[in-house]
Amino acid sequence: MIFLTSTTAEAAATEIISQVEVAGPVQEGINVLELAVKGGWIMILLAILSILGIYIFFERFAVLRKAMKRNPYLLDRINDNIMDGDTKSAINYCEKVNTPMSRILAKGVKDSNLDTASVRQALENNAGLELAKLEKGLPVLSTIAAVAPMLGFLGTVTGMVQAFWQMSNAGNNIDVSLLSSGIYEAMVTTVGGLIVGIIAIFAYNYLVILVDKIQNLMEADMISFIEIITENKNRKETVADSAAKAENV
């Protein structure tokens, strides 16, 4: 067993203190921009994806919020015009309102003379087209949510490859500073990719919820419209039967 004398211990402590003093003060922190720069070229791709995702979210959010606003007089106006036999005025009013629901009902008014099954099919077909327009951009947002974390993991791999390459070139003179750039790239890109991906998936799911709400509103209005034209046809048939009986009498 080796015992250190007091002189040897003091010398060792002095050497440690001198090394700490030479190293200088520890850096307290680093800002987000500096971290992003240390992430390398993959952070540029993540920045582009994040800007694209933000644009798609706010653009679709504005469109969907507008589509959710319902005209409380739309069905009543259509009902009055159909009862009066003035389908042209009903179609003009729908075109004037110019919402996804009014465009669907305009097609239904044009085909209102057909049987109920055909009218329902026409409404559903046009509802599918309108929903496709509302969902424009959502697949791109979903792709961003899936690709961003993968880019982050790619940065992790390339950063670790860079760190090990520098380690192999250093030989026995390995210095932590030689490895720092690769390790920074590995960690920062992972964090950046996860942040962009998590935000994108939440944004995508929120927009999907809005689309589902609009679809439910469309289905409710289409059911009401089918009831209107069915009631109008029944009324016309009743009037025709009454007139026929009156003639026979």
Question: How does pLDDT run across 23-73, given as a tens digit for each residue?
Answer: 444 445 556 555 555 656 788 888 899 999 999 999 999 999 998 888 888
What's residue 62's pLDDT? 94
What's residue 193's pLDDT? 87
Q: Which residues of 179-215 are buried (b: 16+ CB within 10 A; e: fewer)?
A: beebbbbbbbbbbbbeebbebbbebbeebeebbeebe
Task: Examine the pLDDT at 189 and tell me if it is beyond 60.
Answer: yes
- Check residues 148 and 232 and name the one with the higher pLDDT: 148
- Check residues 95 and 173 and name the one with the higher pLDDT: 95
Confidence of residue 130 (pLDDT cuts 50, 70, 90): very high
What's residue 134's pLDDT? 93
What's residue 52's pLDDT? 95
The rounded distance, in Å, linking the Cα atoms of 56 and 65 is 14
Q: Where are the domains of the chain?
A: 41-230
What's residue 157's pLDDT? 77
Give the model confidence (pLDDT) of 83-102 as tens digits.
888 888 888 998 888 889 99
What's residue 58's pLDDT? 95
What's residue 176's pLDDT? 58
